[in-house]
Structures are given as C-alpha cells and as structure tokens.
Amino acid sequence: MRRSASPLSLTLLGLGVFLLVLAPMLAWYVEPRAKRTPIDLDTTTVFKGTGDYFDQQAVEEKTDEPLTVTRRVLGNVAASERGGVAVWDISQTIDTERTLELDDPRKSFQWTTERWVTDRKTNKPVHCCGETPTEFAGDAYLKFPFDVQEKDYRWWDGTLGDTVVLEYVDRVTVQGYEGMRFTGTVDATRTGSRQVPGRLVGMKETPQVMAEEWYANDNIELVVDEATGRIIRATTGPHVTLRAPGGTKPAVTLLHSEGLTFNEKTQKKQVELARAGSSQLRAVGTTAPIGAGVVGVLLAAAGAVLVVRGRRPAQ
C-alpha cells in the first residue's frame, strides 16, 4: 500500500519554496524601490556660529556676533504625487540675536524661499512644478543620492547660484554614528548688484551707486550617511561683500562667518533619521533576503524529506 504525503510536509515544502522566491524579490525588486526620496518631508535644521554682518539700522558693521541659520524643508505631497518627483519647498532665515527674538522670517536679517524638484530615484534635478530657481542643478542638494560613493559630487549652492565640487575626504563620527566627509570652497565670485549709498562703498560724491555683490565660501563641509545620503552634519563659511562698481577689493562686509554648523539638537535628529533609514534599507536589501533564503532552504529541505518519507510503500 502506498501512503500519500502529509499536509505538514506539503505546507513546509510550499512555505520553503515561497521564501526562496521571496528572498531575491526583496533584494532585486523591493529594496531598489525603497530607495526613493521622501515626499512627506517636514524637517527643520539649525546652524549656529558667530560672524560679522552689516547692521542696516545702525549703518555699521557688527563683528563676532552670534548668528543663527534656520532652514525648514516641507515636502509638497500633492505636487510630488502628480509628477512622480520630490517637490520640496524651502524657507531659510539668517538671524542675529535681535531678529531671532522677533520670531518672524520677514524681520530676519535675511530670508529666502525656494522650491527644489528632484527625481526620487536618482536625486537629479527635474525642471517642472514651479521650481525656483530654474537653473537648479547638480548631484547633491539637501541630501546626496542613495549609496554615496567615495568620489566628488556637485553640490548646489543657492547663494552662488551654481554648483560647487565637493571632494570626498574621509570617514568621521558624528554623535556616535559614522558618516562620509566632503569638503569644498567657493572663490570670490560676483553674484549680482544692489543699489546703495555711494559713501557706503567709498564713493562719497555719488548719492546712489549699483554696488557689486560678491560671494565666497572658505569652509563647506558636509558629513553624509552612506546608505541614505542624509546630511548628518553641515558647516558653511559664507563671505558676502560689496564692492564699488569695477572695484577690486571689498568695501563692506554684508555677512561673514568662519563656520556656521548644525547645532547639537539638529545633529542628533539627523543621525536618528539616518540610522533608522539605513536600518530599513539594510533590512529590506540584506537581512530579510538572507534570512528568507536560509529559512526557505531549511523548510523546503524538511518538507521534501517528509514528502519522500510519506510516499514510501508501507511495510
């Protein structure tokens, strides 16, 4: 008499085969689709430091004063879903101690708003959806691409209105978490002009002149999470000056700091988000596929053995 395979053996065999099929799907299908720039973003990062700036009320330069840069990034979910892209609305303020107390971006030392649109997979700029500025370009912006490499990246500098080459330097630890450090500089570059009293730039006999605005940055340093591309620490050293028309030397310093850096609270939050994102990608791309593959082999083998034994002729 010939026996049939037991329900348990068929269940184990079926479950094992399912896990063996699931393992490569997680690694080759699910994990790449998990590497997408989020669209429901709502984050605030704060830079702290000291520097010099031109006080328009006092009509004089202030030196070695506390400065705060606050940047809020809000994902525009509706616009992102329509275009299959990541649409981020960005508001950034630079504040002195006096303007920081006012808690009003309109009264800050400087307030800028932008809209950046990127491909959710590649992080490349996409020119649509009301982006500003329209010349937005580069490889990296508020984040780097997923799976950051030890190579140079083109970083978009909004003040410059162009990209800056950031070179990979080494790996460093930020708040107990390892990141990849990139650095770069911006040579003094004319970025525009503004009308000011002539005496402000050394032209006392001219009531109003179109002074040249120049920008440089001696200290761009970004520490980035390798898996997610999230920036866990950022430092910038802007130097914005005015020159007389055709002048070769700065006449007035509008803003200068040796280094404005993510404050400790921002660093800890960025590390927390990077750690969670990296763990999620690792689970989908490595841990889960390996686990599913190993368990699948064991269950399939056990089920096959039971099926063979169950079908042997009775003695």
Residue 23 lies in a domain: no
Q: Six-digit token pair at 169?
A: 């330097």
Contact (Cβ atoms closer than 8 angstroms) between residue 220 and residue 183: yes
The parent domain of residue 53 ranges over: 31-279
298 has a pLDDT exceeding 70:
no
Contact (Cβ atoms closer than 8 angstroms) between residue 125 and residue 118: yes
> What is the pLDDT, as a whole number, of residue 278?
83
Residue 16 lies in a domain: no
Question: Which of 70-74, 94-98, 247-251, 302-306 has the lowest average pLDDT?
Answer: 302-306
228 has a pLDDT exceeding 50:
yes
154 vs 124: CA distance, rounded Å: 11
290 has a pLDDT exceeding 60:
no
Residue 51 lies in a domain: yes
The upper half-sphere exposure of residue 134, i.e. CA atoms within 13 Å in the direction of its Cβ, equals 2
> What is the pLDDT, as a whole number, of residue 12?
44
Residue 20 lies in a domain: no
Question: Which of 18-32, 123-137, 174-188 has the lowest average pLDDT?
Answer: 18-32
Residue 99 lies in a domain: yes
Look at the block and give the residue holding tokens 């950046």.
116
Bridge-based pairing state of the strands 260-262 and 231-236: antiparallel
Residue 12 lies in a domain: no
* Total number of domains constituting the chain: 1
> What is the pLDDT, as a whole number, of residue 36?
78
| Burial call 197-212: b when 16+ CB within 10 Å, e when fewer | ebebbebeeeeebebb
- Cis check for the bond before 133: say yes or no (omega within 30 of 0): yes
> What is the pLDDT, as a whole number, of residue 3?
52
> What is the pLDDT, as a whole number, of residue 80?
86
95 has a pLDDT exceeding 90:
yes
Residue 215 lies in a domain: yes
> What is the pLDDT, as a whole number, of residue 56?
84
**Helical pair 288-310 and 7-25, crossing angle rounded to 10 deg:** 150
296 has a pLDDT exceeding 80:
no
Give counts: helices (H), strands (E), the chain: 6, 12
Question: Which of 75-89, 135-149, 214-228, 259-273 has the lowest average pLDDT?
Answer: 75-89
Cα 2 off chain centre by: 65
Question: Which of 50-54, 79-83, 174-178, 224-228 has the lowest average pLDDT?
Answer: 79-83
Residue 151 lies in a domain: yes
